[in-house]
Chains A and B, each alone.
Chain A
């Protein structure tokens, strides 16, 4: 209250980011992206089978941030909150990266990439050939095949969801996910940009109504995308916690990224007046909440599977709790939960931009480990190579550099397109002076 900021204290037209100012990081990301893309192209043609896993890991890792950004604008609008107006544009831009990500995700549509990743598709394709030959349906052909291979009974039972040839096939859903996320991201940013023309509160209200309706579709999108792309790696496995687990990681990591981007922008001299340590505190609290939420969900999933001890379910944790992966699992428990939990517990640390940003760097790293641990352990056993694939980490790194580097480059450059905060939002002043 001592430094009450009014509308006149803020620059007319908001603050525009000049990419030249942040050239070092943007340039580095671009370079990493280009080098990664070249390496990826090489691995794609020479080591397609193992590299498919690397690419899936990199695309999904990047996808979680975009999805998380989408969640935060939806939640912000739906809950009618005012504190986040100052940082909302960062989320809007993050969510709008979905189209660019679609290009990076497109290789997953290629049968050559799907072959090593999704065993169930191979069975379905074989069944389709039989079905064509015997003039029956794919489902019946699968049923016949299960005489030889009893595991395929599961595929017959799951046919309604896991299939390649109905109106609700894997392909249809793939396009739907991007369409829905793009629609949400674009609509909310458009409303926000229109408000910059007239400063009318009606756009805020419209965004609220829109968000309340689309939160449901958003939740379904994240859940189903997580199932289709990751659970599908092992068609016998299932977990009802999976969608929530992935979602918790998305919200957590994207909040971490938001804090880092804001700290970076403030270091370059932007948003100095609109973002205060109160915002850091608020975002830190949400980060803390999702640290606990993630742990709660991750443990629930592990605990139920561990205790129930059903063969199809335990396979997921068996391959991750044996050999070297066991230490990664234990590392995740400590690094993903215990560390951030203790670090984010106290208020002064959350309010300190430097400290909380360092924690956020750690959080991004742990989220990377988490997604890696979810995707990669499946590679060796599925391809019949063993637990570890020697030297494959180079391919993982190449894919990560290609996708995350390029997307990071596009994202940070894209910040320059609009004002860094919605400068004519009627509740901006309320947000700038927030005290909690």
Chain B
């Protein structure tokens, strides 16, 4: 009958409280594991330090996204409504849009009409930052996905209610069937189980 192939995902251990989870995280971090995570129903202050997580790369993406928004708003508005680009020797850019010039609002045509463009520059900065934040975050955490191997565990659904878990994945170079299990036991883990992913 069942000849399904299975792959070991990792060890899942349950902890009684935030405090236990926090200290367990410190021990796993100090043991040098890389591919592991903790699961709790709510965010825990200081868990990043306890896990030894490096700073997220997301702010760098968001900064670049924001700058892109500002630049796009600046370029599009100044090309169509000022003579700035001709003045710095890039008049051909303005030639491109001369088919549909927007000479409106009786503003001056030099670069000092810039304040009129600030609202759009501001809005596009926000919009692009927000988009990079959302999509950058989804990309970094690997969402959306259809399923997660940990859902195979009967015990795991408690993570969204009152369960505190540490999961050390098998793809971690330090992972070993005996060593990892004893580390989790030593850290005070309960209901330690080997979670297997159906292929």
Residues of A within 8 A of B (CB): 1-2, 299, 302-303, 306-307, 345-347, 435-436
Cα separation A345 to B118 with both chains bound (whole Å): 20
- B149 CB–A CB distance under 8 Å: no
Which residue on B lies nearest to A342, using beta carbons?
B63
Set B50, B63, B115: member contacting A303, Cβ < 8 A = B115
- Given A1-B22, A1-B50, A346-B59, A435:B115 Cβ within 8 A: no
Q: State whether A347 touches B55 (Cβ < 8 A).
A: yes
Q: State whether A435 touches B45 (Cβ < 8 A).
A: yes
Task: Write the nearest CB–CB distance from A305 to chain B, whole angstroms.
Answer: 10
Cα separation A162 to B1 with both chains bound (whole Å): 94
Cα separation A389 to B66 with both chains bound (whole Å): 43
- B173 CB–A CB distance under 8 Å: no
- B76 CB–A CB distance under 8 Å: no
Residue from A1, A303, A347 having most chain B Cβ neighbours under 10 A: A1
Residues in A whose Cβ lies below 8 Å from that of B49? 1-2
**Top 3 A-B residue pairs of the complex, sorted by shortest distance between their CB atoms:** A435-B45, A435-B46, A1-B46
Interface residues on B, range: 10 to 19
19 of the cross-chain contacts (CB-CB < 8 Å) are A1-B22, A1-B46, A1-B49, A1-B50, A2-B49, A299-B115, A299-B118, A302-B115, A303-B115, A303-B118, A303-B119, A306-B115, A307-B116, A345-B63, A346-B59, A347-B55, A435-B45, A435-B46, A436-B45
State the main secondary structure of chain B at its contact with A: helix
Residues in B whose Cβ lies below 8 Å from that of A436? 45
Q: Give B1-33 as 1s and 0s: 1 = Cβ < 8 Å from A's Cβ atoms.
A: 000000000000000000000100000000000
Residues in A whose Cβ lies below 8 Å from that of B45? 435-436
Cα separation A303 to B55 with both chains bound (whole Å): 38
Cα separation A306 to B112 with both chains bound (whole Å): 12
Residues of B within 8 A of A (CB): 22, 45-46, 49-50, 55, 59, 63, 115-116, 118-119
Residues in A whose Cβ lies below 8 Å from that of B59? 346
Task: Write the nearest CB–CB distance from B170 to chain A, whole angstroms.
Answer: 30
Cα separation A199 to B132 with both chains bound (whole Å): 48
Cα separation A166 to B118 with both chains bound (whole Å): 44
Which residue on A lies nearest to B118, using beta carbons?
A299
Residues in A whose Cβ lies below 8 Å from that of B46? 1, 435
Cα separation A187 to B45 with both chains bound (whole Å): 34
Task: Write the nearest CB–CB distance from B116 to chain A, whole angstroms.
Answer: 7
16 further contact pairs, Cβ within 8 A, besides A347-B55, A436-B45: A1-B22, A1-B46, A1-B49, A1-B50, A2-B49, A299-B115, A299-B118, A302-B115, A303-B115, A303-B118, A303-B119, A307-B116, A345-B63, A346-B59, A435-B45, A435-B46
Residues in B whose Cβ lies below 8 Å from that of A1? 22, 46, 49-50
Residue from B22, B46, B63, B119 having most chain A Cβ neighbours under 10 A: B46
Task: Write the nearest CB–CB distance from A310 to chain B, whole angstroms.
Answer: 15
Residues in A whose Cβ lies below 8 Å from that of B119? 303
Task: Write the nearest CB–CB distance from B73 to chain A, whole angstroms.
Answer: 15
Residues in B whose Cβ lies below 8 Å from that of A306? 115
Which residue on A lies nearest to B60, using beta carbons?
A346
Cα separation A303 to B45 with both chains bound (whole Å): 42
Which residue on B lies nearest to A436, using beta carbons?
B45
Cα separation A347 to B60 with both chains bound (whole Å): 12
Cα separation A303 to B22 with both chains bound (whole Å): 51
Cα separation A436 to B46 with both chains bound (whole Å): 8
Which residue on B lies nearest to A299, using beta carbons?
B118
Cα separation A306 to B45 with both chains bound (whole Å): 47
Which residue on B lies nearest to A303, using beta carbons?
B115
